[in-house]
A and B are shown apart, each in its own frame.
Chain A
Amino acid sequence: MTEFVKPSIEYFELWPLLVVFGVACLGVVVEAFLPRTLRYPVQVVLSLGGLVLALVGVVLVAQDVQTYDDGAARGILAVGGTIAVDGPSLFIWGLVLALSIAGVLLFAERHLDGGVSAFAGQAAAVPGTDAETAAIAANREHTEVYPLMMFAVFGMMLFPAANDLLTMFVGLEILSLPLYLLSGLARRRRLLSQEAALKYFLLGAFSSGFFLYGAALLYGYAGSMDFAAINEAVRNDVGSSSLLLIGTGLLSVGLLFKVGAVPFQAWTPDVYQGAPTPVTAFMAAGTKVAAFGAIMRLFYVALGADRWSWQPMLWIIAILSMFVGAALAITQSDIKRLLAYSSVAHTGFILTGVLGVQASDQLALGEITSVQAVLFYLATYGFATIGAFAVVGLVRDGGGETTAIERWAGLGKESPVVAAVFAFFLLAMAGIPLTSGFVGKLAVFSVALAAGAWPVVVAAVLASIVAAFLYVRVIKVMYFDEPVGAGPSVAYPSVLTATTIAVGAAVTLVLGVLPGPVLDLAAVAGEFIR
Chain B
Amino acid sequence: MTLTILILLPLLGAVVTALVPGALARLVGLGFAAATLVVGIVVATRYSVGGGMQLEETRTWIESLGVHYALGVDGLGLLMVLLTVVLVPIVMLASSREADAEGNGGVRAFFAWTLALEAMSLAVFTATDVLLFYVVFEATLIPAYFLIGGFGRAGRGRAATKFLIYQLAGGLIMLASVIGLYVVSADAGNPSFLISDLAALDIDETTQRWLFVGFFIAFAIKAPMFPVHTWLADTTEKATTGTSVLLVCILDKIGTFGMLRFCLGLLPDASQWATPVVVVLALVSIIYGALVAIGQDDVLRLIGLTSLSHFGFIVLGIFVFSPTGSSGAILYMVNHGIATALMFLVAGFLIHRTGTASIRRMAGVEKGAPVLAGFFLVAGLAACGLPGLSPFVSEMLVIVAAFDHHWLVGSVAVLAIVLAAFYALWMYQRTMTGPDREGVAPVADLDRREVGILAPLLLALVLFGFYPMPLLDVINPFVHDSLAAVGIGQEGGPQ
Contacts and interface: CB of A to CB of B under 8 A. Distances in A.
Interface of A: 364-368, 372, 427, 430-434, 438-439, 441-443, 445-446, 449-450, 457-458, 461, 464-465, 468-469, 472-473, 476, 479-481, 514-516, 519-520, 523
Nearest to A369: B64
A476 B146 CA distance: 10
B161 A473 contact: yes
Nearest to A424: B142
Contacts of A449: 176, 179-180, 183
Contacts of A438: 135, 138
B139 interface: yes
B63 interface: yes
Interface string B148-167: 01100000111011001100
A473 B164 CA distance: 10
Interface in B188-233: 188-191
Contact of B175 (A443, A445, A476, A516): A445
B180 A439 contact: no
A366 B64 contact: yes
Contacts of A367: 186, 191
Interface in B63-85: 63-66
Contacts of B175: 441-442, 445, 461
**List of 7 A-B pairs having minimum Cβ-Cβ separation, nearest first:** A480-B157, A433-B135, A364-B186, A468-B168, A465-B169, A433-B138, A367-B186
A214 to B, nearest CB: 34
B161 A366 contact: no
Contacts of B182: 446
Contact of A432 (B138, B157, B180): B138
Contacts of B187: 364, 450
A63 B167 CA distance: 45
Contacts of B169: 465, 468
Contacts of B172: 431, 461, 464-465, 468
A450 B183 contact: yes
Contacts, number: 109
B179 A442 contact: yes
B186 A450 contact: yes
Of listed B64, B141, B145, residue having the most chain A CB within 10 A: B64
B320 to A, nearest CB: 31
A439 B132 CA distance: 12
A476 B179 contact: no
Given A434-B135, A446-B179, A461-B175, A427 B142 contact: yes
Contacts of A464: 172
Contact of B176 (A366, A457, A523): A457
Contacts of A516: 61-64
A473 B165 CA distance: 10
Given A432-B141, A464-B172, A523-B64, 8 more contacts: A364-B189, A433-B138, A439-B65, A449-B176, A461-B175, A476-B157, A476-B158, A516-B62
A527 B164 CA distance: 40
A367 B65 CA distance: 7
20 contacts: A365-B189, A366-B66, A366-B186, A368-B64, A430-B168, A445-B179, A457-B179, A461-B172, A461-B176, A468-B165, A468-B169, A469-B165, A472-B168, A473-B161, A476-B158, A479-B146, A479-B149, A515-B62, A516-B64, A520-B63
B194 to A, nearest CB: 14
A468 B160 CA distance: 14
Contacts of B149: 476, 479-480
Interface of B: 61-66, 131, 134-139, 141-142, 145-146, 149-150, 156-158, 160-161, 164-165, 168-169, 172-173, 175-176, 179-180, 182-183, 186-191
A445 B190 CA distance: 18
Contacts of B160: 476, 480
B179 A472 contact: no
B138 A458 contact: no
Contacts of A446: 65, 179, 182-183
A521 B61 CA distance: 16
Contacts of A465: 165, 168-169, 172-173
Given A433-B138, A449-B179, A480-B160, A519 B168 contact: no
Contacts of A519: 62, 64-65
A445 B136 CA distance: 19
Of listed B66, B161, B172, B187, residue having the most chain A CB within 10 A: B172
A480 B154 CA distance: 10
Contacts of B157: 476, 479-481
A458 B164 CA distance: 20
A441 to B, nearest CB: 8
B427 to A, nearest CB: 30
B176 A432 contact: no
Nearest to A423: B142
Contacts of A461: 172-173, 175-176
Nearest to A520: B64
A188 to B, nearest CB: 32
B130 to A, nearest CB: 12
A152 B173 CA distance: 40
A513 to B, nearest CB: 9
Nearest to A458: B176
B172 to A, nearest CB: 5
A190 B176 CA distance: 45
Contacts of B63: 516, 520
Contacts of A366: 64, 66, 186, 191
A252 B74 CA distance: 54
Nearest to A460: B176
B279 to A, nearest CB: 27
Contacts of A430: 168
B140 to A, nearest CB: 10
B487 to A, nearest CB: 28
A472 B134 contact: no
Contacts of B189: 364-365
Contacts of A479: 146, 149-150, 157
A496 B135 CA distance: 33
B139 A434 contact: yes
B161 to A, nearest CB: 5
B100 to A, nearest CB: 17
Contacts of A427: 142
A366 B188 CA distance: 12
Contacts of B62: 439, 514-516, 519
Contacts of B164: 468, 472
A443 B186 CA distance: 13
Given A433-B139, A480-B160, A472 B191 contact: no
A245 to B, nearest CB: 31
Contacts of B66: 366
Contacts of A368: 64-65
B168 A445 contact: no
Nearest to A448: B179
Contacts of B135: 433-434, 438
Contact of B161 (A443, A458, A476, A515): A476
A449 B190 CA distance: 16
Of listed A430, A465, A480, residue having the most chain B CB within 10 A: A480
A461 B66 CA distance: 22
B28 to A, nearest CB: 20
A430 B142 CA distance: 13
Nearest to B135: A433
Nearest to B168: A468
A181 B491 CA distance: 79
Contacts of A515: 62
Of listed A433, A434, A476, A520, residue having the most chain B CB within 10 A: A433
Contacts of A476: 149, 157-158, 160-161
A482 to B, nearest CB: 10
B188 to A, nearest CB: 8
A461 B158 CA distance: 24
A449 to B, nearest CB: 5
Contacts of B176: 445, 449, 457-458, 461
Contacts of A442: 65, 131, 175, 179
